[in-house]
A and B are shown apart, each in its own frame.
Chain A
Amino acid sequence: MTAEPILSVRNLTTAFRVDGEWKPVVRNVSFDIRPGETLAIVGESGSGKSVTSLSIMRLLAKDASRIEGQVLLNGRDLLSLSEKEMRAVRGNEVSMIFQEPMTSLNPIFTIGRQISEVLTRHKGMSATDARAETIRMLEKVRIPNAASRFDEYPHQFSGGMRQRVMIAMALASRPKLLIADEPTTALDVTIQGQILDLIKTLQEEEGMSVLFITHDMGVVAEIADRTVVMFRGDAVESGATEQIFHRGQHPYTRALLSAVPRLGSMEGQAVPLRFPIVDTVTGITTEPQPSRTMLERDAPILKVENLVTRFPVRSGLFSRQTGSIHAVENVSFDLKQGETLALVGESGCGKSTTGRSVMRLIEPTSGDIQLDGQNVRELGSSQLQRMRKSIQMIFQDPFSSLNPRMSVGQAIAEPFLKHGMGNAVQAKQKTADLLERVGLSASMMSRYPHEFSGGQRQRIAIARALSLDPKVIVADESVSALDVSIKAQVCNLLLDLQEQLDLAFLFISHDMAVVERVSHRVAVMYLGEIVEIGPRAAVFENPQHPYTRKLMSAVPVPDPSRRGIRRGLMEDELKSPVRPMGYQPPRREYREVSAGHIVQVA
């Protein structure tokens, strides 16, 4: 508490020029970061958290932005420096890492060259010294065989490894302050765990300060000493992380925290539980209601047996098939009316391909799919179009899942009309009804998708999926792209709809905490196979497969008392499901742990 702050931000106000008018997007934000400290700025999209960091680095377009206040780095005001002086600060005294590791490295230079450039430019090292130092940095960020990977190109690295390279590059100049702008958001959860551990370790070793920008309260709890909560451009609350989590004063802070799904919060709960909703103005909390769906049904509505989906890998001059991606291998599950089965796993595990194969948006290679008494794989194209009435899909990205050229009313009414389920008047009635049902207003029918926020668009997509009165809904990461408070609302909406309409959900997600909250049963997928499936309580409270355990231990827990705990995750990467021609997948053995809880043993 006594040390002089490394960075002191005073009354930072950033405005953007929109149609000739200055609109403030960050208002009067002040905070300090002391040596060796981690400060998190947490907030949802549009809260101004990234703009704050870009303002500190003065990386915003000059003509379109105006930054006021003071940004003191070791007592020197960065806002008064010339552009040339500022260049000596960036990447030297202050370094930055970004969200998207796939695009923040230059693809045409080797990673070794990109890191040593920082050293030769800012530190005036010779090429040989820089090379040695670069290899040392790569070892420091735990890249295996660092020396041999010096001359490799970014495309030869996985996402997690690239983020390590980015960190190595940021640390190469030994900065006093590292600004990390959502550095783990684009990464899988086990990789995220590794990177968070790495940042913590490096901070101890180097004694630098970190400004960590994130939307994830779990990550905040793990990494930050102190936290600033931002809401629509204002810093509504700041203080020690424990204080924010346990004694948060501002209603928005409480709303944000109550909306965060916590892994393990469902212990002792038999059925899915809605999220509590806190009013961001008054702070009044609604008590979460458990879902009341009836599950005492015998016959499943959807039954999948030994589903296999492979994609050919072609290469060479005549694009001969040289292998296959075994996206889905021997997957079996069933789903009853009113039930939610979650498919969880990391990117590339085949969970989305499974959902699409079940709908035959992708042709499965083999297997048997029974939907509502019909054999899906044997349907002709016109029968297939009719089949789509019973199974519908909600996509991840609400910004690309609606046709921008079609009004919301048209989009919702279209499937209803195309399937001849009624005339135009009935379609309009149905559309109005559905819009009200998903929490929007019937008067919004003539508007276009761009006029809505992400959460509203996802509601529209849900309304559209419901227009055919489907029995099964495949929700492919349907809440993953949404802000945490919106995510809670949309999850509640899905539970409401399930109760009212007796829907069966195939809930595809990478987010263990959300899955725990909303599902009745869970299937964990790894490299195209289901490694563990069972009732939600059984899988979460008694995980058997090592991968399930690894996945669960990697989830950041929004509890600051666990800060400093290292997971000890292996520094490994996700394996690839690409196999050579003629590869025979091994026969798998399964073991029943308890009723309906089945684990792959070998």
Chain B
Amino acid sequence: MTETLHIDWTLCDGRGLCTELLPELLGRDEWGYPVARTSPAAERSDVPVPVALLAAARDAVALCPRQALRLDRC
């Protein structure tokens, strides 16, 4: 069971907390919005989270000031 980090782009305004908590997974574009580092285009809004990063991903979901993140099982 893989978990994916879903980014709601209509809510995200690029505060960047998630990119600090998940630097292995997310970089920032030139406007500050998160960019999945390795994912193909189809997975850039639903980023697969390796098991080792699940705890950090949960933190990112809980701490996102815009509540723009969620973890989904797929």
Are A and B co-members of a single complex?
no
A residues apposed to B, CB below 8 Å: none
